[in-house]
A and B are shown apart, each in its own frame.
Chain A
Amino acid sequence: MSRLKKILYVTASLVVFVTVFILDVIRHAVSFDLDGILYIREGAIVCALFLLYLYIRAAHAERPSGIPKNIGKLLIYSLLVLFLASLVSFVGRGTTAPDGTITPPQAALTSLLSVVFGVVLGLFSISVLLTIKDLLLHKRRKGTKRNFIIYVVVLLLSSLTVLPLIPAELSVISSILFAVAVVMIVVNSFKQNWIVYLSRREKLYSIVYSALLFLTFIGLSLLITQHPVARALDTFHLPLRNFAQLNAIFGAVYFGMAFISTLFHLPTAEVYERKQSELTSLHNLSRLVTQVFDFSDLVNTVTAMTLEVVGARSAWLELIRERGTNGQVAVDVVSNRNISPEQIELITASEESSLRKYVLDSKRALLIDDIRNDRRTKHITKSGVTVGSLLSVPLVSHGEPIGFLHATKDFEFGFDQDDIDVMTTFADHVTIAIENSKLIAKSLERERYQQEMMVAQQMQKRLLPQRLPKHPSLQIAAVSEPSLEVGGDYYDFVQLKGDRLGVVVGDVSGKGVSAAFYMAEVKGIFQSLSKICDSPRELLLRANQSLVESLEHKAFISLLYGIIDIPKGTLTLARAGHCPMIHVSGLHAQMIRPTGIGLGLTHEQIFEETIQEAEIQLQKDDLCIFYTDGLNESRNAEGEEFGFERLVQAALGARFLSAEQIKETILTEIRNHTGDSAYGDDMTLVVIKWLGHGEG
């Protein structure tokens, strides 16, 4: 209903009532009897009351509140009305002289009182009807609404029959209608379903309210029939008395019945509350699902809900960290409420066997009704933990226990079968939520890791030469493929003074990230040393000096370093534990293998004593092949290695091709050998073809 409408209704009814008051005062002062005016007066009052009804109904619907609150409001109204009725009664007695004459001022006061009281009583009666209607329709059955409507219709008819314009002969009908209305009151008063849905606390309130309402309605119905109040009402509006009286009776009967029903329902209140809280908890379970993204939030919700679900004093959640062979478990308490970790330890642990073991052995809930007198918890009494009863349920995922949920109460025998069932169901949901949470965390972690590895891979690719050196006397082809995202293989070229080219191939022991870090270190060392070391041997010596300090014990690096002196057409080579270089010259292939220990394996003296240099004179179309062991150790499904022999044969067979084609031929041979099985190790291949000085 719009605001304007409301104001209009209230103003209109106020105008009517004020007019009625003025009319009444005039009527007392100047005695005149005009039936027409009286009819209009009665009709106007009915209309005004109807407008007020519309207003109250709208106001009532706009602010719905709890049942006990509504009844409480009604009680306040009824007390006000009762007070007003008493006032009317008192003033009525005082103003009426024994001879029955009334002075005009007194008449004006009486009229005012009767109008005000009439309006208030009318409003109140409407409120009573609306409140009872709400209660009746709280849980609707077939006929509930019908019975109420019948009552209202009979009530209105019964009231209308006493209108002064109705002939007096019809008073029999009026009495019959009144009787029917009373019957309907009784019928309606049996509908007290709303009481069932009240909590224990609300029930207590309604008992008090109903009892008081019952009394005030009795008082009101009595007062209305008493002479001064009855007369005041009659002078205002005759049907109102009937209307108010019936409603007062309705109120008295209805709330009398309500009082008795509530009293009977009181013992079952706890059961209802329990059911309701179970329902709420089940609803809350859905909250668990949404919290799987934050593990600490999740476990805290779990313990908070445990307190709610079984009405526990304290609760805690444990996840199994590891299980010992003797059935003992190590757990982490991930969330605890109203209990300290020390107390938890005192409760669960004992010398012989922990409570968790009982749960694990049975894989079912463990209930200890009386902790002080239970064989399994003898250890607790000494420690002075004030716990009466304990309920522990396992969290079982795919048949494997992953944790425990515990709840305690201060008193003995605190948990019943319902609690065990609820906790067990709850534990299942908790398990799923925790597992999901872990899965999500894991997949996020994996995704992050993969992204990091992608970055590492990109970074490592930049550490390898971005473009190969170009020289009219040389053809160069190179490839390096890590077996994982990153690897420990390294190759590089460096332009040296005097038209010389340095070529290096290296292999860090191990694979993956640690190897990749060392590979980066080797690059740094090589790039800086190659500029100052004149010979390959000298470079390897100094590289060993740096690396033996920084490498961990089990790590080492093999390196093969050759310098091609282009004007002289020679290759000088030093080897630190690396695979030998293959030198193909015409139909001859040779492993060039000067002695030398891997870098980082031993201190300088032995290293220096061991390392040698080899020098070869290059002929036109000679091949120099550098590689890492991933190449010759590539295995097929039967575990057979590609081996040096096949490598040499592949190089010999392709010696007339360009360096790039030779590289491709070797890779194809390896793929043919390994078949579908992936490369086992990091693999690097550098092919250099010496074209000579272009003289022929």
Chain B
Amino acid sequence: MSEFKIQHRTGEGVNVIDLKGYLDAHTAPELENVLQKLIEEKKFNIVVNCKDLSYISSAGLGVFMAYIEDVRKNRGDIKLTNMSPKVYNVFDLLGFPILYEIYKDEQDAIKKFQDARSVQN
């Protein structure tokens, strides 16, 4: 089983999390820690890039549910991008596309955040 990896980048006021490998009950706590830390640092504009994510289980999906409320309360959002069709299917089955903004490309998500900021300003 290929291992799971998380990388975190910051750029243009948006925090991008890169996921790689299998996100399941074993690896979900790693993602939880990263999101928890971002929220503690008051960084609420979060993009999760799923380009290299090969599998996500229900426990993995639960991680996003655990933090979305906090993030949105602080006028931020978690946007998901670059999903493979297989991973998208899992999100889709559960109805996530209704609850989350899912983009084909990371840049689209970042742009969306920037647009929202310029509107606020």
Binding site for B on A (CB under 8 A): 507-511, 552-556, 558, 577-580, 593, 595-598, 601-602, 606, 610, 629, 633, 635, 639, 641, 681
Contact = CB atoms under 8 A, between A and B. Distances in A.
The 5 closest A-B pairs by CB, nearest first: A597-B95, A554-B62, A554-B66, A509-B58, A577-B94
Given A553-B67, A602-B98, 12 more contacts: A510-B59, A511-B25, A555-B62, A555-B65, A556-B62, A556-B65, A556-B94, A597-B98, A610-B95, A610-B98, A629-B58, A629-B90
B61 interface: yes
Contacts of B58: 507-510, 556, 558, 629
B1 to A, nearest CB: 6
Interface of B: 1-2, 25, 54-55, 57-59, 61-63, 65-67, 69, 90, 93-95, 98-99
A639 B2 contact: yes
Contacts of A606: 98-99
Nearest to A553: B66
A601 B94 contact: yes
B99 A597 contact: yes
Nearest to A557: B58
Contact of B1 (A577, A633, A639): A639
A209 to B, nearest CB: 77
By secondary structure, the A interface counts as: loop
A567 to B, nearest CB: 32
B65 A595 contact: no
A48 B38 CA distance: 106
Contacts of A602: 98-99
Nearest to B95: A597
Contacts of A633: 55, 57
A510 B93 CA distance: 16
B94 A598 contact: yes
Given A511-B59, A579-B93, A553 B65 contact: yes
By secondary structure, the B interface counts as: helix
Nearest to B68: A553
A509 B25 CA distance: 9
A509 B59 contact: yes
Contacts of A577: 93-95
B2 A509 contact: no
B85 to A, nearest CB: 12
Contact of B65 (A593, A596, A601): A601
A510 B98 contact: no
Nearest to B63: A554
24 contacts: A509-B61, A509-B62, A510-B25, A510-B58, A510-B59, A510-B62, A511-B59, A553-B65, A554-B59, A554-B63, A554-B66, A555-B65, A556-B61, A556-B65, A558-B93, A580-B93, A597-B94, A598-B95, A602-B99, A610-B95, A629-B58, A633-B57, A635-B1, A639-B1
Given A639-B1, A681-B57, A558 B66 contact: no
A681 B58 CA distance: 10
Contacts of B98: 597, 602, 606, 610
A681 B26 CA distance: 12
Contacts of A511: 25, 59
Contacts of B54: 639
Contact of B95 (A508, A554, A596, A635): A596
A493 B78 CA distance: 39
Q: Which of B55, B58, B61, B93 has the most CB of A within 10 A?
A: B58
A605 B93 CA distance: 19
Contacts of A595: 95
A639 B55 CA distance: 10
Given A595-B95, A601-B99, A610-B95, A554 B1 contact: no
A602 B57 CA distance: 19
B99 to A, nearest CB: 6
A554 B65 contact: yes
Contacts of B65: 553-556, 601
Contacts of B66: 552-554
Q: Which of A577, A593, A641 has the most CB of B within 10 A?
A: A577
A174 to B, nearest CB: 104
Contacts of B63: 554
A554 B66 CA distance: 4
Q: Which of A554, A556, A596 has the most CB of B within 10 A?
A: A554
A266 B91 CA distance: 89
A510 B25 CA distance: 6
Contacts of A593: 93
Nearest to A638: B1
